[in-house]
Structure 1
Amino acid sequence: MTEFVRRFGRHRRRKSPARNSSGRSEWHGWGIVVVLAAHLSIALLDGLLRGIGVFFLSWRDDFDSSAQATAAVSSILTSVYSFSVLLGGVMTKHCGCRTTGIFGGMLTSVGIFSSHWVKEIYQLYIAAAVLGVGQGVAFNAVTVAVAMHFKSQFKTAYAVAYAGGGVGGIAIPPLLQLLLEAYGWRGAMLVISAIAANLIGLSALCRPPRSERCLHAANTLEVQMRSSFDESVADGSNMRSEDHSVSDADFPEVGESGGERPANSTTDDFTEIDSIKTGSKSVKLTHPLRGFASAVGLDLFVKSYRFTLVCLSTIELGFASYGCSQFIIPRAESTGVAPSSTALLLSMYGVGLLVGRLGNGLLIVCRMSAETASGFCLSMAGVSLLLMNVDSYVSMALATFTQGLTSGAIYTIFIVQIRHYVGLEHFGVAVGLNCIFNGIGGLCGPLISGLLYDVTGSYKTIFYLLAGVYFAGALQTLFFPLLKRLEPGVENTEHR
């Protein structure tokens, strides 16, 4: 009987879920609330980002502007959103996830609310910039909040949270269309600003785990004790200099060895220490760029070569994914497909995006490394663009679904890789830098693809080029093992 209990207990321990350092499961308590809050926040952020094109015709007619000037609203929103994630990383590192997320939610709501009163198209550009800053800051805050609550199960947690982008991409655009038909675009903006204000409440739920709060309190107490100790030492030295009747023996000092201060030591030691402190301050002042580079995470590129390679792959991913999304419908219409049927292709893309972000958790079941999974997904994304050149509606539908499936999974996998390469302490800033490179690819992809069409007059050439970009990114993943041996590594002070 005892042998049966021992074997049964061993089996139960082997099947138990992943647990943190305190012995509790990570899928327990407030971590679930944080994942759900991040899921809904990303649904609002990505849904607004992808559904803003619903107002394109209304803006063009109301402001009597050209198509290029009207499309610039979406370009400004997308680029500022990508570039502002770095700002969110810096704020998260210094102010915490909850405060940063609330600030981002307020900016998002204010940016949409202010667009109700614009009279010129350039004023709408300013409102779009404010909206993009708020979205980027809020996105970084909820991403870091999930990383703080989940360590060994971060892949699954972030897949569930990031799947909100697919949900928002499917649900938000039809809602915006209904609001536009019911209230006009100005009235719709008022309603949307109230909906976006929910980001404030969702960000308020993203409190740090108890271990991080205790660590922050301990660090704060240490700083306060150190400052009070320095003040007491300064007061004691002033007392000795003013009152000569008090001897040094009444104030024994602790030396470097931990014992009392030697009798032959004089006040010159304090002068020497002060000079050392003054010298260290002067050295820091002579190198202000080093502190700036460390604050914005630029030193991560020389400490983690694998993170640098991920950022390079993100440029290629943004280049190809944003470039192809602009020409899916024109390519289908060029083959004689009806406009009503071409709209279904974008719906297939949204469904694939949702499945891809949720399906990232399947990689854990398959026990596939993140590097191998990213290379596989990049290869499949390249194959999907080759299918777009087949003059068949079925192949195009399959291609758009596969494109959404693979691109959604790749973005999630890249976040998991960044979390592993730079650690939790630098994670927020690293995500911001990675989103900047994604924004660079998103800006260059449509421009170069459009230029290629103007030169060749063929959509097939565009998809051949973008497929080659995907295949080049897949080949780059072969360098991850080599870079792991060469890189110096990032100092990880994560509290495990």
Structure 2
Amino acid sequence: MRCDHVHKQSEEADKCLSCTCSCNLSHNRWIKTIFCALLNFVHIGFLYNFGLFFDELMQTFHSSAAITGWIGSLSYCFFTFGSILTTWMLRHLSYRTVGMIGVLTGSVSLLVSSFSPTIVYVIVSYGVFFGWSSNVALVVTIETQVILYQDKWRASALTMVGLGATIGNLSMSNLIEYVIQQIGWRWTFRIFALILLVVETICCSFLASKKVCDHNIEDKDTKNKITKREPTATRHVICWPEVWLFSIATLSYCIAMVFHYVNMGSFFESIGLVDQMSATGIMLMALGDASAKILIIFAAPCIVIPLIYTLPVCILVSAIMSLALTWTRNPIVIFVLSFCTGLPRGVYNALQFPSGLEIFGTNKSKTTVNVLHIWNGLGSLVGPFIFGSLYDASGTYYLALYLCSALYVLSCITMLLTPLYQKYFAPSRYLVDTKKKNVAEIYHNLAIEYVYLEEKITVV
């Protein structure tokens, strides 16, 4: 009798090993978490440091800031929009296979970019293919973490807010700048192409080698099994004015924020900071971003006010920081402002999706994803071209920073109007006060919701 029981347990264990969702051993889950974080650390961390290459590319190809900005525009655009292709691939292939495709694409794109005779090749190879490969790294790790930690919201949040990628941005800035100074941007691309290939191949070996099984997932709080969900009435939701207010807020903020990733390094050098000091400024901005995300993760249960009302405050602080960067050239002050600029950026990136759920409800999570997906992608696409054109016309980035401040103010106003419109003009849809949930509950719901989403949004 005991033997039959052991044999039955063994069969159940074998079934579990054939599916990613079955990794129940705590140490095994955390090993996968470490390598998922390392994957984001190397791949997306390198993407976030594109601003260090901006001036080098302009000088090499004798291109304008607007044309060079297209490299960053497309890379961050495909970093977002690439979720459509990545998610489709995950329906038919295993996480390990999709991850390796992303690794090979990213490594080859850097290698091809390093041999490019004109900037057009870099725009295509780096802007399109490296941007999409970065999306693969993020989506694969998000999917893996959500499945492994459906009952551990902090672990899921750690990946969702992109903490590993932010730390990569933080720790690699000075290293990348040093390598560029020593051997140039072309050899820097080649070295990191090799690093990506070796390190990320090891990371992907810890991902699931078989396609994830389709099955019901049990919500431990309700003890109810969740089956296929009915699609939301997207066409009807599009007619809601609050959706457009939230969209305008998202687009305005993203256009302004992409300046940090693409043009900020060039701005630091334009005001007299040497290369290493410019890299330090970017590093301190990433440090502020990472600090804010860590604070949100561990202090989230203590937040008692609706999250949607915290975002306008963060956005307004970002507007003030953008203006403050135009008032001084003192390196110490610039470093302090850089750190302070990263703080509201980290809070916004961590809370934008949960805040959207407060507005539209958890039953319309796909609507929230689509809104953020579309407008973040468009903002990333047009932002660097706008700022580059302003720099080409004026010879300074001050106009671009003034525009960033104006966009932040517009985003702040429309973000604040979003719940207020619901409250006073559409009370039947107003969920902020009637369905208050702390962040822990929201992230727990996200872990369940992400299994059913057909499209993913990258959060930076």
Range of TM-score over shorter length: 0.5 to 0.7
2:54 maps to 1:118 = no
Provide the residue aligned with 2:204 in structure 1: 203
Residues 422 and 429 in structure 2, CA contact (< 8 A), matched pair in contact too: no
Q: Could you tell me which residue of structure 2 aligns to residue 321 of structure 1? A: 257
Aligned counterpart in structure 2 of residue 385 of structure 1, from 302, 308, 322: 322
**Which amino acid counterpart does residue 196 of structure 2 have in structure 1?**
A
Query: In the aligned structure 2, how far is the partner of 1:156 from the partner of 1:171?
Result: 21
Displacement after TM superposition at 1:407 (Å): 1.1
Which range moved further: 102-111 or 26-35? 26-35
2:283 is matched with: 347
Structure 2 CA distance for aligned equivalents of residues 480 and 89 of structure 1: 34
| Superposed CA offset, 1:3-61 (max 9, x none) | xxxxxxxxxxxxxxxxxxxxx99993443234323322222233221323444455445
Mapping of 1:292-331 within 5 angstroms?
Answer: 300=234, 302=236, 312-323=248-259
Pair 144,165 (structure 1): closer, same or farther in 2 beyond 3 Å: same
Q: How many residues align?
A: 391
How far apart are the structure 2 equivalents of 1:97 and 1:419? Answer: 27
CA 319–344 in structure 1, closer or farther in 2 if over 3 Å, else same: same
TM-score (norm 2): 0.67
Q: Name which of structure 1's ranges 190-199 and 472-481 shifts more when overlaid on structure 2.
A: 472-481
Instruction: State the 1:63 CA deviation.
Output: 4.2
- 1:359-438 equivalences in 2 (<5 Å): 359-368=295-304, 369-388=306-325, 390-391=327-328, 393=330, 396-416=334-354, 434-438=372-376
Q: Is residue 113–residue 189 contact of structure 1 (8 Å, CA) maintained in 2?
A: yes
Shift of 1:466: 3.1
Q: Which moved more, 1:462-471 or 1:450-459?
A: 450-459
- The 2-side partners of 1:412 and 1:28 are apart by 25
Distance 1:95 1:469, change over 3 A: farther
CA apart distance, 1:357? 2.3
Give the corresponding residue for 1:229: none
Match of 2:383 among 445, 453, 457: 445
Amino acid aligned to 1:177: E
Q: How does 1:22-421 map to 2 (within 5 A)?
A: 28-128=26-126, 129-159=128-158, 162-197=162-197, 198-207=199-208, 213=213, 215=215, 300=234, 302=236, 312-323=248-259, 344-368=280-304, 369-388=306-325, 390-391=327-328, 393=330, 396-416=334-354
CA-atom RMSD in angstroms: 4.7
* Structure number, greater radius of gyration: 1
Maintained 8 Å contact 2:167/2:290: yes
**Alpha-carbon distance in structure 2 between the residues aligned to 1:479 and 1:301:** 22
Unmatched 5+ stretches in structure 1:
1-23, 218-293
State the alpha-carbon separation in 2 of the partners of residues 451 and 77 from structure 1: 18
- Residue 462 (structure 1) aligns with: 403
What's the offset of the Cα at 1:115? Answer: 2.7
Distance 1:25 1:47, change over 3 A: closer
- CA shift, 1:465, in A, is 0.9
Deviation at 1:194, TM superposition (A): 1.8
Contact 1:89–1:431 (Cα < 8 Å) also in 2: no
Q: Tell me: CA distance 1:299–1:149, structure 2 relative to 1, closer, same or farther (3 Å).
A: farther
Contact 2:171 2:283 in 1 (8 A): no
Structure 1 residue 359 displacement after superposition: 2.0
Say if 1:313 and 1:400 are closer, same or farther in 2 by CA, change over 3 A: same
Partner of 2:14: none
- Give the AA of the match of 2:258: Y
Report 1 or 2 for greater relative contact order, CA contacts < 8 Å, sequence distance ≥ 6.
2
**Are the aligned partners of 2:100 and 2:204 in contact in 1 as well (CA < 8 Å)?**
yes
> Could you say if the C-alpha distance between residues 307 and 469 of structure 1 is closer, same or farther in structure 2, counting changes exceeding 3 Å?
closer
**CA, structure 1 residues 418+456, in 2 after alignment: closer, same or farther (shift >3 Å)?**
same
Do the aligned residues in 2 keep the contact of 1:386 with 1:464 (CA within 8 Å)?
A: yes
- Per-residue displacement from partner, 1:96-128 (whole Å, max 9, x unpaired)? 544332322221122122234433332223321
Scaled by the length of structure 1, the TM-score of the pair is 0.63
- After TM superposition, give the deviation of residue 189 of structure 1 in Å: 2.8
The aligned amino acid for 1:159 is: L
Counterpart Cα distance in 2 of 1:209 and 1:361: 31
CA distance in 2, matches of 1:385, 1:130: 31
**1:274 maps to which residue?**
none
Report if the CA contact (8 A) 1:26-1:153 is conserved. no
Residues in 1 aligned to 2:53 and 2:265: alpha-carbon distance in whole angstroms: 18
Cα gap change, 1:37 to 1:451, in 2 (>3 Å)? same
One-letter amino acid matched to 1:95: L
Within a 5 Å distance, the mapping from 1:464-479 to structure 2 comes to 464-476=405-417, 478-479=419-420
Overall identity of the aligned pairs, in %: 16
Separation in 2 of the partners of 1:48 and 1:493?
Answer: 26
Per-residue deviation, 1:383: 4.0
Question: How far has the Cα of 1:134 moved from its partner?
Answer: 1.5
Deviations 1:277-329 (A, max 9, x none): xxxxxxxxxxxxxxxxx9xx996575697887765543222122124666767
Structure 2, gaps ≥5 residues long: 1-21, 218-228, 432-444, 453-460
SS state of the match for residue 150, structure 2? coil
Going from structure 1 to structure 2, the CA distance change for 1:307 and 1:155 (only over 3 Å counts) comes to farther
> Offset of 1:163 from its aligned partner?
1.2
Q: Which sits farther off after the overlay, 34-43 or 198-207?
A: 198-207
Q: Deviations over 1:402-435 (max 9, x none)?
A: 22111122112234456897879987x9757734
The alpha carbon displacement at 1:209 in A equals 12
What residue identity is the alignment partner of 1:142? Answer: T
| Structure 2 equivalent of residue 223 of structure 1 | none
Change beyond 3 A, Cα 1:384–1:64: closer
Task: Give, in whole Å, the separation in 2 of the partners of 1:209 and 1:486.
Answer: 42
What amino acid is aligned across from residue 201 of structure 1 in structure 2? I
Deviation of 1:436 (Å): 4.0
Secondary structure of residue in 2 paired with 1:215: coil
Kindly indicate whether the alpha-carbon contact (under 8 Å) linking 1:97 and 1:141 is maintained by their aligned counterparts in 2: yes
Instruction: Tell me whether 395-404 or 313-322 shows the greater mean CA deviation.
Output: 395-404
* Cα distance change of structure 1 residues 385 and 26 upon mapping to structure 2, 3 Å threshold: farther
8 Å Cα contact 2:54-2:262 kept in structure 1? no
The one-character-per-residue Cα deviations of 1:203-256 (angstroms, maximum 9, x if unpaired) are 34343999x647289xxxxxxxxxxxxxxxxxxxxxxxxxxxxxxxxxxxxxxx
Residue 468 of structure 1 and its aligned partner are, at CA, apart by 0.9
